[in-house]
Chain A
Amino acid sequence: MNSNATIDPVQTHLISELKHSRPLTTLRVDPESRYVAAGAQDLDVQLWDLEDGRLRTLSGHQSWVRSIDFSADSKQLYTACWGGVVNIWDLTQDAAPIIRSIPAHQGAARWVRVSPDGTRLATCGNDLLVKLWNIETGEQELELKGHERHVYGVDFHPDGGHLVSQDLMGAIFIWDLKTGGQQRKIDAGMMTGYDKKFAADMGGARDMQFNACGSRWASAGITKVVNSFAGIQDPIIVVFDWETGEATRQLRAAENFKGVAWAVRFHPQGFLVGGGADKSGKGELWFYNDGSDEAFHTFKMKSAARGVDLVGADRLAVAHADGHVRLYQMTAEATEPDDIGSIPAVDRDIADSDDLDSGLPAERSVLGPEGR
């Protein structure tokens, strides 16, 4: 895997792919970087073991899975679907049975995240609610009201005592879990747009993540809506400061990329990775450091990216609209083929790295560790 090599996003290249028959909708890698779980435009969850290449298909949802998380020990999987149900799966058993199925929301359950202490799940959905669940009992512990439009994303602050949630209109609420109350409201109006022609709103967090120390969080989505019904708007990743609630950075893609930012991850070495889908159906990965809101490197992919996660520190797993999970290595290509276990290597021609930022490498050095 060349994991000892220096991580350099500019060297990003495709190393393997995992194939499913339907377009993928989301993806999550477990904390031990052993499993990749992906939802798709079907009713199942695909769970690949990166060590031995084994695929398990988990059936039990009645609708598409749109958000996934793992327990810290990788023994449980949490999935939320458009039908409003959150399932808890036991990965210690070969068949990975459902431990508990929670009818969490009326309408879609858009997001699920496990608390830092592993005892609770946060979910949000189209019933305008954010909810907190006890994993052990499956009981609802909190119901947080305040959003006026569909709630797209929710995540725990690393201190475990707070939640952040974001809705269609860019309203972000910080919730204090001790009091069960709304602590702050932040306007992320840049992440929503009203399409005058079609008389409809578009926006929402398509991915959210805190950095490891909790000083910042990032939200991926859209901005500058021109014709959202044709997918013509700009992707954006907004970084917020936890203390002030200010949007400190607005990270963009290249001018000609029109679509959605579907993913954002803080890399332990301090740079930030985003991923998205262009209206053409192609995808891109964007790499940002603290020096600029423009990506210091853009990696082009032939298929739209709908979810990105880190596999260890040196690889990225991407859920693609063409049904593949592709693994990309962020180190220089080995002169000899790497041993990547049972996962089949791929024809390198199917994705091309293209450094669009030849003028930016001066800012490319990575800054301060923000380990996950």
Chain B
Amino acid sequence: MRRNQDCNGIDHLIARRDFLWGSAAGAIGLGALSSPLNAAALQRQQKRVLQIYLQGGVSQLESWDPKPGTQYGGPFQAIPTSVPGIHISELLPHTASRMHMLSLVRGINSKIGDHRQGMLFMEKGRRAGDYPYLGSVVSKYLAPADAELPGYIHISKRGIVDSTAAFLGARHAELKLLGDQAPANLASPNTIDETADEARQRLRVQFDRRFSQQRSRALTDVYNSSFEQAEKLMKRKAMFEGAVGEQDLDRYGRHDFGRHCILARDLLENGATCVKVTHHGYDTHAENFNFHLEQLGEFDKTFSMLLDDLHDRGMLDSTLVIVYSEMGRTPKINTKYGRDHWGTAWSVAMGGCGIQPAAVIGKTNDEGTEVVEREVDGGHLFHTYLSALGLDSTTDHDVAGKSIPIGDPAAAPIEELLA
């Protein structure tokens, strides 16, 4: 059954909490927030998402949920943070001093100990099925129509380009940047001036129109989206060409992750709606402790600098920041000083837009082997992210007349985490 037939973008998605807040405020009036005017306001506010994906499965025991001195606690200590009562691993001293900007979810039981399936669950909020990633959903509903950058940009040095948009269409698929290098061929050939370029674009559109008259629009959508994304990037190619400032490099670090986070900041500041940065190297079946020292040592300061910049530039309130993995790591330490895959009791961190700061939701037992309080999974997190952005995740996508629930109807937002 088709619903929301005349839906244009985000109007029907504005979250219930915003609607109620608007009603209570009185000045705006009942229903005002669901009007196109408010949808435009939401877009003007340009809510954004920054995803920091710690690929491979960061150890919760070496990051957000340390258990020092216990059987499986490992060698590292827990340190106090800027929030009294919250302790995190000593491997995150810079993040610890910014804990008041973040919150932790320590009760994740995704029941998935597989990289691919775990990642898909965390990105789609569903265990199975052809659903769009969070970044594509955000691109669809939050990216302004006249956005000067693609709605969903993923910075990573490797990995496959996933089909992230599902039924939302190619326009909302991730644009993958291989590191901080400019994508190839951003400049027009020397032999084509601006006039010639406009002429060939007109010709292409004309051909497309004729082609699509007798075929499914989907066939030309991918093609058009590619051109549109390329066009946007070509107009903003200066972003990639400027040398990264020495001061930024000193602060963020001269490694790949540092450069990627500087680019992420710049992209968000220049209108990108969702930017995902992948930090590789957490699949520590061997030498878990030495590798977490190295990897989190790199993550900690860089992430903290990025958090500071978002805050200092007044962007944190409108940017949802998520630090996540596809799973956690086993409490049990194997004979290689490694920790293996573990979906049973692990953590993520988040902050910024719509998230109550300085909260800890959920709890694991003393040895970290199971969740003992407020168990959640990828479905709950997906709802929570969208709710924090002011989108009602319990409504439906409208796809060619077909209604598809945005979030898993079996899950719900973690209400106590929302601001």
Q: Which residues of A contact B (CB under 8 A)?
A: 22-23, 41-43, 62-64, 66, 81-83, 107-108, 126, 150, 195, 197-202, 204, 228-231, 259-260, 277, 279, 281, 303-304, 321-322
Contact = CB atoms under 8 A, between A and B. Distances in A.
Contacts of B35: none
Contacts of B289: 82
A231 B336 contact: yes
Contact of B294 (A63, A200, A279, A322): A200
Contacts of A304: 335-336
Contacts of B338: 229, 231
A103 B314 CA distance: 41
Interface in B266-294: 280-281, 283-287, 289-291, 293-294
Given A62-B77, A126-B293, A279 B336 contact: yes
Given A23-B335, A231-B338, A277-B336, A198 B281 contact: yes
A64 B336 CA distance: 16
B19 interface: no
B240 interface: no
A222 to B, nearest CB: 10
Secondary structure call for the B interface: loop
- Name the residue in B77, B285, B290 with the highest tally of chain A Cβ atoms < 10 Å from its Cβ: B290
A123 to B, nearest CB: 16
Interface in B379-417: none
B75 A82 contact: yes
Across the A-B interface, the 8 shortest Cβ-Cβ residue pairs? A231-B286, A82-B75, A281-B335, A64-B75, A198-B281, A231-B336, A321-B335, A304-B335
Contacts of A108: 75, 293
Contacts of A66: 75
B167 interface: no
8 contacts: A41-B74, A64-B74, A64-B75, A199-B280, A199-B281, A201-B294, A279-B336, A304-B336
A321 to B, nearest CB: 4
Contacts of B75: 41, 63-64, 66, 81-83, 108
A303 B286 contact: no
A229 B290 CA distance: 10
Given A23-B333, A23-B335, A83-B77, A198 B280 contact: yes
Given A64-B75, A202-B291, A231-B285, 11 more contacts: A41-B75, A62-B77, A63-B68, A81-B75, A82-B289, A150-B293, A199-B281, A200-B281, A229-B286, A259-B336, A277-B335
B157 interface: yes
Interface residues of B, number: 29
Interface string B333-363: 1111010000000000000000000000000
Contacts of A231: 285-287, 336, 338
B290 A198 contact: no
B62 to A, nearest CB: 12
B285 A43 contact: no
Nearest to A196: B158
A199 B290 CA distance: 14
B29 interface: no
Contacts of A197: 158, 280
B116 to A, nearest CB: 16
Given A43-B69, A62-B77, A199-B256, A229 B284 contact: yes
Contact of B285 (A63, A229, A303): A229
Contacts of B286: 228-231, 279
B224 interface: no
Given A150-B293, A200-B295, A303 B335 contact: yes
A195 B285 CA distance: 14
A169 to B, nearest CB: 11
Given A41-B333, A63-B75, A200 B291 contact: yes
A199 B260 CA distance: 14
